[in-house]
Amino acid sequence: MAKSLGPVKRKFSPWTDPSAVPFIRFENITKRFGTFTAVDNLTLDIYEREFFSLLGPSGCGKTTLMRMLAGFEEPTEGRILLQGKDISGVPPYRRPTNMMFQSYALFPHMTVEKNIAFGLEQDNLPKGEIAARVEEMLKLVKLEPFAKRRPNQLSGGQRQRVALARSLAKRPKVLLLDEPLGALDKKLREETQFELMDLQTKLGLTFLIVTHDQEEAMTVSDRIAVMDKGLIMQVATPAEIYEAPNSRYVADFIGDINILEGTVAATESALGAPGTVRIDCEGMAVAVEQECQAVAGDKVAFAIRPEKVRISPDQPADPSANAVYGEVWDIGYLGDFSVFLVRMADGRIVRAAQANVSRLVDRPITFGDMVWLTWPLDAGLVLTR
């Protein structure tokens, strides 16, 4: 499996290089449909060869943003630059981008071969070259035996690959993928995610993917933009998005997390420098080691991922560690993990996840047990937004 993944990407981070020139630039883009603002004064840079995800719930403007890049919608305000050139007003059929549609949009009256050749024929390439390119594409997506079939004679996964081949055939500068795996079942989806990454590295193209599936975005992307209501909430690598979300929205949208509202009690460092922040979460004292812009008295939230919370029947020996005491209220057995819902004296619930490292079915902790939840100072986060 690992071999088929192709060259491993190392140290690919042009966004950290201040001299790098963005490949695509959305500049103060606003898009309104009537009174509804789909995209609100948004600025975003995407770099060459990047695998970039737009992630958000439906209606957050991610698809509109992509359709503006493809040319199906024109921005109400702002401009889009592709390799430094403003592409406003260029119709979709003259843009060097290609799109893989959510519905695949395969032409039902053409064979697989004809579908893949369609874009090449529009460029009036010589027949022989078209045939060669189609063959190459069929090979790339492993569909050679199906060249003469019509789309309705293919399975969902095969159709998805035809759509991919068709959009790649013209060697676009940017490939746009609109929920490309949405119609596939879970297993096939996971496989295809790796194939996509493999293809992207091999072909050296820039991929822009729209998805509402956070796992998909985490798996395939170099960077993710989390969107909500036409705004970008955070742009970062998958690990940063997960481990250092910048807001309650992003923290809550990606993965599972405990969020407890509270007030900053004290900061033991100068403003903006790393140090310990003490938060009073409605009677529960929590200490976090973090660089923080908040000062005493600020309303903030304390957030911690369940897998970073340790659960134990015994009181922790180290008195400086964060610890809360509660009753096991419910247990969710997920196979690889068990999630414990622990109810504190005031009724608030904190979730702790524990990897099931042994095959033992009888767990040492069960419903109704009184337990201690502990976590180190650097496990949680202070969210100011």
Q: Which residues bind other proteins (CB under 8 A)?
A: 70-72, 91-95, 97-99, 101, 103, 105-109, 118-119, 122-123, 166-167, 170
The residue among 348, 279, 354 whose CA lies nearest residue 313 is 354
CB closer to other proteins out of 211 and 214: 211
Q: Could you tell me the smallest distance in angstroms from the CB atom of residue 122 to other proteins?
A: 4
Structure tokens at 381: 């986060």
CB closer to other proteins out of 95 and 161: 95
Contact indicator for 64, 233 with CB cutoff of 8 Å: no
CB closer to other proteins out of 107 and 333: 107
Q: Could you tell me the smallest distance in angstroms from the CB atom of residue 123 to other proteins?
A: 6
Q: Could you tell me the smallest distance in angstroms from the CB atom of residue 163 to other proteins?
A: 9
Q: Could you tell me the smallest distance in angstroms from the CB atom of residue 151 to other proteins?
A: 11
- Cα–Cα distance for residue pair 53/110, rounded to 1 Å: 31
CB closer to other proteins out of 38 and 232: 38
CB closer to other proteins out of 119 and 326: 119
Q: Could you tell me the smallest distance in angstroms from the CB atom of residue 159 to other proteins?
A: 13
Q: Give every CB contact of residue 98 below 8 A, 6+ residues apart in sequence.
A: 119, 167, 168, 170, 172, 174, 175, 176
> What is the DSSP code (8-state) at residue 14?
G
Q: Could you tell me the smallest distance in angstroms from the CB atom of residue 175 to other proteins?
A: 11
Q: Could you tell me the smallest distance in angstroms from the CB atom of residue 143 to other proteins?
A: 18
The residue among 237, 187, 194 whose CA lies nearest residue 52 is 237
CB closer to other proteins out of 69 and 300: 69
- For the residues of 296-338, what is the DSSP string, one character each? TT-EEEEEE-GGG-EEESSPPS-TTSEEEEEEEEEEEE-SSEE
Q: Could you tell me the smallest distance in angstroms from the CB atom of residue 178 to other proteins?
A: 9
How far is C-alpha 87 from the geometric centre of its chain's CA atoms?
27
CB closer to other proteins out of 97 and 322: 97
Q: Could you tell me the smallest distance in angstroms from the CB atom of residue 235 to other proteins?
A: 26
CB closer to other proteins out of 45 and 178: 178
Contact indicator for 78, 27 with CB cutoff of 8 Å: yes
Beta bridge partners of 174: 97, 206
CB closer to other proteins out of 120 and 281: 120
- Cα–Cα distance for residue pair 5/110, rounded to 1 Å: 32
252: left (phi over 0), alpha (psi -120 to 50) or beta: alpha
Strands 174-178, 97-100: pairing kind = parallel
- Cα–Cα distance for residue pair 57/79, rounded to 1 Å: 24
- Cα–Cα distance for residue pair 377/379, rounded to 1 Å: 6
